[in-house]
Amino acid sequence: GNSVTQMEGPVTLSEEAFLTINCTYTATGYPSLFWYVQYPGEGLQLLLKATKADDKGSNKGFEATYRKETTSFHLEKGSVQVSDSAVYFCALRNQAGTALIFGKGTTLSVSS
């Protein structure tokens, strides 16, 4: 079946540090891949997406590249800020369905 595996958190970084959150997936066909962010007490916001192999999604300094050969979609940011502290969810949507399938989420905590 379809599934998403994320690195477990929490991830604790100092401001301006480099961030990587690993995400790998299992799916049939060619799924679309997403990163969502959830700030404390709020809903899910789409951070970036990629719909085919080798696509790079980017937004607000975050990037992720759709790697079909390694079935991965790792999230990266060169210099994190305190305001980036949140829970990050990797998700996929396969061609046959409409639902998003989420990973367990990774909590990021950035201190100044």
Partner 1 sequence: AAGVIQSPRHLIKEKRETATLKCYPIPRHDTVYWYQQGPGQDPQFLISFYEKMQSDKGSIPDRFSAQQFSDYHSELNMSSLELGDSALYFCASSLGGTSGSLYEQYFGPGTRLTVT
Look at residues 106, 98, 100 and name the one whose alpha carbon lies nearest to residue 34: 100
In angstroms, give the least distance from the CB of 104 to partner 1.
Answer: 5
Could you count the other beta carbons within 10 Å of the beta carbon of residue 58?
Answer: 14
47 vs 110, beta carbon nearer partner 1: 47
Residues at the interface with partner 1 (CB under 8 A): 32, 34, 36, 42-46, 49, 51, 89, 95-105
**Partners of residue 25 on adjacent β-strands:** 4
45 vs 79, beta carbon nearer partner 1: 45
In angstroms, give the least distance from the CB of 65 to partner 1.
Answer: 18
Beta carbons of 25 and 5 less than 8 angstroms apart:
yes
